Amino acid sequence: MHPSIIAITNPAMNSQTTAGALEGTDDLPGLAQDVDETSVEQIVARGPRGAIALCVLSVALVLAMWLAFYFWVFLPRGTIG
């Protein structure tokens, strides 16, 4: 097992041991070592389109469910009293 995984999964290790274990992560393929500033700026400039789309979809679904209850449950019952 890689030292960084041992450091993360073992709560008995202190911060100095964890920092020492994470120093050897240069060769791991999943970690970004060389980040191009222009590509980061392009990604940030696009904005949170996915989060906004998820919010719009969620609000639309809640509104649709509310309208469905209103028209098919509340209105057919009529007025109270």
Looking at residue 18, its pLDDT comes to 52
Quick check: 36 and 50 in contact, CB under 8 A? no
Residue 54 lies in a domain: yes
Give the residue numbers spanning the domain of 66: 48-81
Q: Establish if 32 belongs to a structural domain.
A: no
Instruction: Determine, yes or no, domain membership for 40.
Output: no
Residue 73 covered by a domain = yes
| pLDDT value at residue 19 | 54
Would you state the pLDDT for residue 69? 95
pTM of the model: 0.49
Give the number of other Cβ atoms within 10 Å of residue 6's Cβ.
13
**Domains in the chain, number:** 1
Q: Is residue 60 part of a domain?
A: yes
Residue 39 located in a structural domain:
no
List the alpha helices (DSSP H) in the chain. 3-9, 15-22, 37-46, 49-69, 75-77
Provide the b/e sequence for 44-73 (b: ≥16 CB within 10 Å): eeeeeeeeeeeeeeeeeeeeeeeeeeeeee
Question: Per-residue pLDDT tens for 21-75?
Answer: 555 555 556 656 677 888 889 888 999 999 999 999 999 999 999 999 999 998 8
Task: Report which DSSP code applies to 12.
Answer: T
Does residue 60 sit in helix, strand or coil? helix
75 within some domain: yes
Residue 66 belongs to a domain = yes
